[in-house]
Copies of this chain bind each other. A is one copy, B any other.
């Protein structure tokens, strides 16, 4: 490259000797630039962790500002709430280590490339545009470290995930209304080795890790010098947990194997297997007929259904409690969720199972202006209501209810901190289950439209329900951009097959 030589030449000569059309303007810019540059550089010594004020943040809202709703979390509950908040009444401040919402029902499809990762990730700025436009609305990439309900403040710390030259720093945010929507985290039942060796399926980076590992194992197993046993181990995909997530992932995986691996990895196609380990029954929340159908379909598409309890997880194999060993190359763990240590640590009333206790209006009793929604919350026994399952459906409905609720309070003049004490809170939150769905691969899905496990009601299986399932989700993907991309992904997967480039 010519300019490369130029670079060497110039380095041995002095700049003013080389004269080009732009030299002047160059030098001019550079000078003006460097003055700013140097002035700036001097101050970079003051690390971000030491801001002017010792402990910065957003103070209590003044009378000439809008009241502030602080939302912790960017899951189904928090995002649905932010979407519904009337930003002419409130400023919205969202605190989360994730700047997007994950459309979890389609996450399993991204692990094998049926869908692309970005098609299931929705930036907060698109869910609630005020956050990126309004002068006093913000999204902070940070995690909440503590909540002070007396001073109406949340303490936060920035998330810099190990990027060099940026140390995390602390700050405070005062709230008029606080919505805790911190979600849940995967349960491991304290089984040794799960956190170290298994991959969960809750975040986009989980799906990315699964996809990378699956493709790596497929390629490594094709390299000469590998033993037959090692080959079968690398290509043994084990899923622990027979709930909707585990079943959906197993279905996607067997689709990927029958449609893509057989064609693109012909050399190793006979070595790859999927095993689904469940202690009880798969899809136990679905009715018997659907369960039987699911088992039949999964077995037919090559998924080995194994009943057992995992006792210990080692790097290359897991041990069941009957002592039998199951070697694996990929281990996905989806045995349900529970409240995070932070949620457990909060000094707030608690419901069974360590969730934040809420009343019929999703308020946290005994403190002012604090609400909790989604997986992290549960009805207090005093309400006489059952604790709702940790489902997107529940979180979404609670977010929607609370948004309207807060808007109503705001219109009634109760938006400021401590101003809604004696207000009538209107109708309570009532959850109506719209039925459960689960896809099992091969253009088949289960739809259970019963109100509860024991109730009577419609339930279907097969292609029709697969179609309902897909369109149901397609219309629930929040932005048109992502609806469009999901449709395009499905189309290209159908026409060209899944993408196997390991990037």
Q: Which residues of A contact B (CB under 8 A)?
A: 1-4, 6-11, 15, 18, 20-23, 25-27, 29-30, 33-34, 37-38, 40-41, 43-44, 46-48, 51-53, 55-58, 98-100, 116-118, 121-123, 125, 132-133, 135, 138-142, 158, 160-161, 163-166, 169-171, 173, 187, 189, 196-197, 204-205, 208, 213, 215-216, 219-220, 222-227, 229-230, 232-234, 236, 241-243, 263-267, 275, 278-285, 288, 291-292, 295, 299, 304-309, 315-317, 320-322, 324-327, 335-337, 389-390, 453, 479-481, 484-485, 488, 492, 495-496, 499-503
Contact = CB atoms under 8 A, between A and B. Distances in A.
Contact of A266 (B133, B234, B283): B133
Query: How many identical chains are in the complex?
Result: 2
Nearest to A246: B3
A416 to B, nearest CB: 21
Nearest to A203: B503
A307 B30 contact: yes
Contact of A43 (B1, B43, B227, B499): B227
Given A139-B219, A492-B484, A227 B48 contact: yes
Given A4-B187, A307-B30, A503 B100 contact: yes
Contact of A308 (B30, B56, B223): B30
A495 B44 CA distance: 39
A118 B116 contact: yes
23 contacts: A1-B389, A2-B389, A3-B282, A4-B243, A7-B189, A7-B279, A10-B280, A29-B305, A30-B307, A33-B275, A33-B326, A34-B325, A37-B324, A37-B325, A40-B232, A46-B230, A100-B501, A100-B502, A100-B503, A132-B263, A132-B267, A141-B219, A169-B223
4 pairs of A and B residues whose beta carbons are closest in the complex = A56-B225, A6-B280, A3-B284, A100-B501
Residue in A15, A30, A196, A266 whose Cβ sees the most chain B Cβ within 10 Å: A30
